[in-house]
Amino acid sequence: MKKRILFMLAGMLVSAMIFASGGNDTRSGGGTYKDTITWGQGADVTSFDPHIGKETPAVQVTNHIFDTLVEIDGVTNELKPQIAERWEQLSPTSYRFFIRRGIKFHDGTELTAEDVKFSLDRAINTAAVAYIVDFISDVRVENPYQVLVNTHAPYGPGLRNLAVPFAAIVPKAYVQANPDGLLQKPIGSGPYKFVSWNQSDSVRLEAFADYYAGPAKTKNLVMKVIPEASQRTIALETGEIDLAYDLTTNDTKIVEANRNLTLFKAPSLTCFYISLNMRKAPYDNKLVRQAVSHAIDRQLIIDTVLSGAGQSADAIIAPAVYGYYATGADKYDPALSKRLLAQAGYPNGFSTSIWVNNNQERVEVCQAVVEMLREVGINARLEVMEFGAFIQRSTAGEHDMGYFGWVTSTKDADYTYYSLEHSSQQGAAGNRSFVADPQVDRLVEQGRTSVEASVREAAYKELAVYLADLSNNINIVYTQINAGGNNKVENFILDPIGYHKLENVQVRR
C-alpha cells in the first residue's frame, strides 16, 4: 500500500517504509523492540473530545489520551483505581473519591479535584454522553484531592459507568480557555499525548513521560485509517501495520492461515440492529415494524455474509450482559410479513431507504437485507456513507432505517436500554428509533434506579418481552470481536468491548 507519511527522527528524514514499520529500535528486558506501534482501523476519529467522540473508532484512539476515575481490568473484569487512588461508599447515594497526588495533564498542569468536578459536570451536560453520568445529582470538591459524588437515587452500575471512556477527566483550565480545543487538539492525562492528525488518514501519539503509572512501553502509536478490511489484512501481511482491528470473516481465515500472524477473537458485547425511525411513516406503525423483522433471515446472513461467526439476536443486549433475557429471535416468515403489511395498509409494500456506514461487512449485511425486504414488497434503497456523516445525519433523524452496532460497554443492561430506548435519549445519545413509550420509560427507570438484583432482573425481563413486540429496533446479530496481529506483537489483550489499549504492548524487531 501507498506510504503517505514522512517524519523526522534524530534530525534525519526517515523513509515512509520505516515509518510504517516502526522506526528505530528500543531495547527492553534484553530484547529489541520497535519504537512505534501502527494499527489499522476501519474509520477515522469522529472527535477527540471524549465527551463527544463516543464511537468506537474515536475511543480506540482517545482512550490512550485520557484517563477516568476508575478503570476495569482487561483480564479480571474487576474495577481498579486510576485517577482515583481509592474510593469509599458513604451511603447508597454517595461516594467519596480520593484523587492521586501529582497526576499531570499533557500540558504540565496538575490534575485536581476541580478538574474532576468540571469533567463530570461537563459530561452530564453533553447530550452525546450524558446517559453515562446523569445518575449523578452533584459533585462537590472537598479539598484539592477529594471529591464527593452524590446520585439522584441508588444506582448499581455507577462505578462501572465512571470507568467508561466517555467519563474521562479533562483539564478544566484548557477547556474553559478554548471550549472547542479538545475536538482537534486534545490534552489529557493518559499514557499517550496527541501529536498530529492527518484527517481521514492517520493519527500520531507519543508516550507521555510524566504519566503517573510510568511511561508506556512503546514510544509512539500510529493509527491508520483503512476502511476496507481486506486492505487492513494486506497491510498486516506486508508489515505496514502491526495490528488490524475488526476483520471480516474471510480475512480472519487469511490471518489464521499465515504462520507469521496471530488472530485474536472473542464473543463481543455488541449487537447489530436496524433502527426504524418511528418519527416517519410507515415506521410509526407497529405492524410495519414487525413485518420488517419477519422478512429478515438472520441465520442466512450469519451463515453467508458472516461465515457462521455470530448468533441471531433477540434482545438488543448480548447474552453476556447483566439483565439479558432471551425472548427468541423473530422467525423468518415472509408470508407472515406480507400479511402484516396488508393489515397495516400496505398490501403492495412501499419504498424506503436503509443507511449504513462504509464498513464492508456491514454493507454486505444490508445488501442481503435489501434483497429479503424486496421479497415481501418493500423496495429499500441502500445508501452507504462515511461513518462521521452517518452518525451526524442519523442523529438528526434524517434516516428511514439505519444499520447500527452498539456495544454494552459496562456489561450492564442499563447502559444500552437507557441510551437506546428511553425517550430522553433521542438522537445523539443513541435512541435513533426515536421511540417515546411510557411503558418502556417506566421499565428502564425501574431497572436503572433499583439496587435489588431481583427487581432489576424482573424489570429487564418485562422490558425485553415488551420491546420484542414493539419492534422499534430489529435486532440482527451478536458478533465476535477480532484483531489480527503480527506474531512479534507482545502483551496485546483483546478487549471484548473494542477499546484495545496499547500502553503495555511491544513489537519485537
Looking at the DSSP assignment, which residues form a beta bridge with residue 138? 150
What pLDDT score does 31 carry?
67
What domain range includes position 207? Answer: 27-42+191-260+487-507
The answer to whether 59 and 68 are in contact (CB under 8 A) is no
What pLDDT score does 319 carry?
92
Q: Which amino acid is at 43?
A: A
Nearest Cα to 358, choosing from 42, 34, 17? 42
The answer to whether 500 and 60 are in contact (CB under 8 A) is yes
Instruction: State the greatest distance between any 2 C-alpha atoms of the chain, in Å, as a whole number.
Output: 74
Q: How far is CA 260 from the centre of its chain?
A: 29
Write the pLDDT tens digit of every residue in 445-458: 999 988 888 999 99
For 497, half-sphere exposure in the C-beta direction (CA atoms, 13 angstrom radius) is 24
Nearest Cα to 503, choosing from 288, 202, 193, 259? 193
Residue 325 predicted with pLDDT over 70: yes
Please name the helix (run of DSSP H) or strand (run of DSSP E) that holds residue 341, with its range, or none.
Answer: helix 334-343
Q: Which residue has the cell 477473537?
A: 265
What pTM does this model have? 0.79
235 shares a domain with 315:
no
Taking CA atoms, 406 is separated from 108, 110, 398, 509, in Å, by 36, 35, 19, 37
CA 422 – CA 436 distance, rounded (Å): 7
Write the pLDDT tens digit of every residue in 150-159: 999 989 889 9
471 shares a domain with 374:
yes
Query: 118, 144, 177: which is the final residue of a domain?
Result: 177
What pLDDT score does 26 carry?
52
Residue 369 predicted with pLDDT over 50: yes
Residue 443 predicted with pLDDT over 90: yes
What pLDDT score does 453 carry?
86
349 shares a domain with 455:
yes
Q: Where are the alpha helices (DSSP H) in 93-157?
A: 113-124, 130-133
The answer to whether 488 and 267 are in contact (CB under 8 A) is no
Q: Which amino acid is at 385?
A: M
144 shares a domain with 97:
yes
Return the percentage of the chain with pLDDT > 70, whole number: 94
pLDDT band, very low/low/confident/very high, at 22 (cuts 50, 70, 90)? very low
406 shares a domain with 307:
yes
Overall average pLDDT of the 19-32 stretch: 50
Residue 409 predicted with pLDDT over 80: yes
pLDDT band, very low/low/confident/very high, at 304 (cuts 50, 70, 90)? very high
206 shares a domain with 117:
no
**Domain count of the chain?**
3
> Is residue 184 one of the residues assigned to a domain?
no
Residue 275 predicted with pLDDT over 90: yes
498 shares a domain with 462:
no
229 shares a domain with 105:
no
> Is residue 57 one of the residues assigned to a domain?
no
> Is residue 65 one of the residues assigned to a domain?
no
pLDDT band, very low/low/confident/very high, at 355 (cuts 50, 70, 90)? very high
Looking at residue 246, the DSSP 8-state letter turns out to be S
446 shares a domain with 420:
yes
Write the pLDDT tens digit of every residue in 371-393: 999 999 999 999 999 999 999 99
CA 504 – CA 488 distance, rounded (Å): 14
Take residue 382 and report the three cell numbers written for it. 441502500
